[in-house]
C-alpha cells in the first residue's frame, strides 16, 4: 500500500464458499484483522464452531496460503483491492458426529470437494469411493427412480476425480439399492453416513504436499488429527503419530520431523527424517501448516500454547507461528456441554 489513504480506503472482498456456486461479498479496511473476515463469513453461514475453518488465498509466488488471523489483511497480501479468498475446513475433527449441524454440513461440502479433487481417496477396487459418491447422489437427488434416473445418469455428475465407467456402475449399484441399503434414507442421514465413512480413510483431512524422500522418490506428505503421513500411489507409506513427534522444523527446502520413539518400556530413541519440497516457500508453508495442525490436535488448552513457535534454521530465513483460536480438545468439551 503506497499511502495512508490506501490503507484506510475500503476494499471489496469476495469469499468463495465450499459450494462453488456461492460467494459472500463484504467491504473491509485493509488494516482490519483477518479474523474479522472469518467471523463475518461464519456468521452468514450460521456456523458457531469457526475454529475448524480458515481462509485461503494465493500469494504472488502462486503459493496457496492460509490467512494468519493474528495479522491484518494488509500485512499478508500485496493488494487488498479485489481480494478473492476461499472459505475452507482447515482442521478436520476426528469425530465429525460431535459437530453442530451447520458445522457438520460445511465439513460434508469440504469432503465432497476433496473427493472430487482426489484428496479424499482410498486405494483398492474403489468400493469406498463408489459408496461415498452414492451417498452424495442420495443427498442431492434422493431415492433412485428408474423413470428419472436413466442409464448413464451417474456420468453426468462430477463426483470423483478421473471417474471411470466401472466406478460409475458401482455408484449406480449403491444408489439404486442393488448393493447396500441407501434407498429410503434422508438427505441428512446420507450426509452423516458420508462423514462417518470418510473419517475412517487414511486420507481424511490430509492436504497433500509434493515432496521427495531421502532416496529421491516422489511422495505426497500431509497432516491430520492423527499425525504426519506420506503417500505413494494413493497408499499411506509412513505414519508419524503426533505423540512420537518432538519437533518440526525446516532448512531451506527440507522439511524435518524429529521423532522420539519408545523401543521398549525404558529405552527412547531419537530419529530424524527429512523430506525435500519443491521450493523454500512451499517448505515454509508446509512447516507452518503442520505446526498449526500439531498445536490444534495435541494441546489441551489454548492457554498452554507458546506465544511464538519458530522453525527456520540458522541458514534459512526463520518463520514464526503465532497461533490464535481454540484447540480441538476445548471445542470437544464445549460440544459435549451443549449435548
d(CA 207, CA 195): 17
Indicate the pTM of the whole model: 0.92
pLDDT tens digits, the chain, 339 residues: what are they?
444 445 567 888 999 999 988 999 998 888 888 899 999 999 999 999 999 999 999 887 788 899 999 888 888 887 777 789 999 999 999 999 999 999 999 999 999 999 999 999 998 777 999 999 999 999 999 999 999 999 999 999 999 999 999 999 999 999 998 877 799 999 999 999 999 999 999 999 999 999 999 999 999 999 999 999 999 988 999 999 999 999 999 999 999 999 998 877 788 899 999 999 999 989 999 999 999 999 999 999 999 998 777 776 544 555 788 898 999 999 998 876 665
What stretch(es) of the chain map to CATH 1.20.80.10? 122-198
Q: Which of 73, 56, 69, 80 is nearest to 321 (CA)?
A: 69
Q: Which of 44, 41, 33, 48 is nearest to 15 (CA)?
A: 41
- CATH number for 209-338: choose from 2.30.29.30, 1.10.10.10, 1.20.1250.20, 3.10.50.40: 2.30.29.30
> Residue 264 has what pLDDT?
78
Give the helix ranges, DSSP H, for the chain. Answer: 4-8, 34-44, 101-117, 127-141, 165-176, 187-198, 280-298, 328-338
In sequence order, what are the residues at sequence separation of 6 or more whose Cβ sits closer than 8 angstroms to the Cβ of residue 234? 121, 122, 123, 203
**Crossing angle between the packed helical segments 101-117 and 127-141, to the nearest 10 degrees:** 130
> Residue 61 has what pLDDT?
78
d(CA 126, CA 131): 9
What stretch(es) of the chain map to CATH 3.10.20.90? 4-89
Q: Domain 4-89 adopts which CATH fold? A: Ubiquitin-like (UB roll) (3.10.20)
CATH number for the domain whose boundaries are 122-198: 1.20.80.10
Q: Which of 278, 260, 262 is nearest to 270 (CA)?
A: 260
d(CA 67, CA 73): 8
- Classified as helix, coil or strand, 50 is helix
CA triple 297-34-48, angle to 5 deg: 55
**Could you tell me the three cell numbers for 239?**
505414519
d(CA 49, CA 102): 9
What stretch(es) of the chain map to CATH 2.30.29.30? 209-338
Amino acid at each position: 500500500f503506497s499511502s495512508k489513504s490506501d490503507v484506510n480506503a475500503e476494499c471489496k472482498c469476495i469469499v468463495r464458499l465450499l459450494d462453488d456456486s456461492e460467494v459472500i461479498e463484504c467491504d473491509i479496511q485493509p488494516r482490519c484483522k483477518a479474523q474479522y473476515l472469518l467471523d463475518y463469513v461464519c456468521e452468514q453461514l450460521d456456523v458457531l464452531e469457526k475454529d475448524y475453518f480458515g481462509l485461503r488465498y494465493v500469494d504472488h509466488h502462486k503459493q496457496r496460503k492460509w490467512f494468519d488471523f493474528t495479522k491484518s489483511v494488509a500485512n499478508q497480501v500485496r493488494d487488498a483491492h479485489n481480494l478473492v479468498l476461499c472459505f475452507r475446513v482447515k482442521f478436520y475433527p476426528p469425530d465429525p458426529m460431535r459437530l453442530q449441524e451447520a458445522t457438520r454440513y460445511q465439513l460434508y461440502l469440504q469432503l465432497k470437494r476433496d473427493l472430487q479433487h482426489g484428496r479424499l481417496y482410498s486405494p483398492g477396487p474403489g468400493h469406498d469411493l463408489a459408496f461415498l459418491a452414492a451417498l452424495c447422489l442420495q443427498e442431492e437427488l434422493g431415492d433412485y427412480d428408474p423413470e428419472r434416473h436413466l442409464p448413464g445418469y451417474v456420468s453426468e455428475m462430477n463426483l470423483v476425480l478421473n471417474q471411470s465407467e466401472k466406478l460409475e456402475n458401482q455408484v449406480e449399484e449403491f444408489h439404486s439399492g442393488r448393493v447396500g441399503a441407501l434407498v429410503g434414507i434422508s438427505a441428512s442421514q446420507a450426509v452423516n453416513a458420508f462423514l462417518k465413512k470418510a473419517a475412517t480413510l487414511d486420507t481424511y483431512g490430509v492436504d497433500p504436499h509434493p515432496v521427495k524422500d531421502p532416496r529421491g522418490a516422489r511422495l505426497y506428505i500431509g497432516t491430520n488429527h492423527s499425525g504426519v503421513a506420506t503417500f505413494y500411489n494413493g497408499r499411506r507409506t509412513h505414519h508419524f503419530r503426533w505423540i512420537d513427534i518432538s519437533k518440526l522444523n525446516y532448512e531451506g527446502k527440507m522439511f524435518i520431523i524429529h521423532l522420539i520413539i519408545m523401543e521398549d518400556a525404558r529405552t527412547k530413541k531419537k530419529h530424524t527424517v527429512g523430506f525435500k519440497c519443491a521450493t523454500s516457500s512451499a517448505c515454509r508453508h508446509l512447516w507452518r501448516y503442520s505446526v498449526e495442525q500439531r498445536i490444534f490436535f495435541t494441546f489441551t488448552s489454548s492457554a498452554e500454547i507458546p506465544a511464538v513457535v519458530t522453525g527456520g534454521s540458522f541458514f534459512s530465513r526463520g518463520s514464526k507461528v503465532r497461533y490464535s483460536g481454540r484447540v480441538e480438545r476445548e471445542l470437544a468439551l464445549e460440544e459435549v456441554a451443549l449435548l
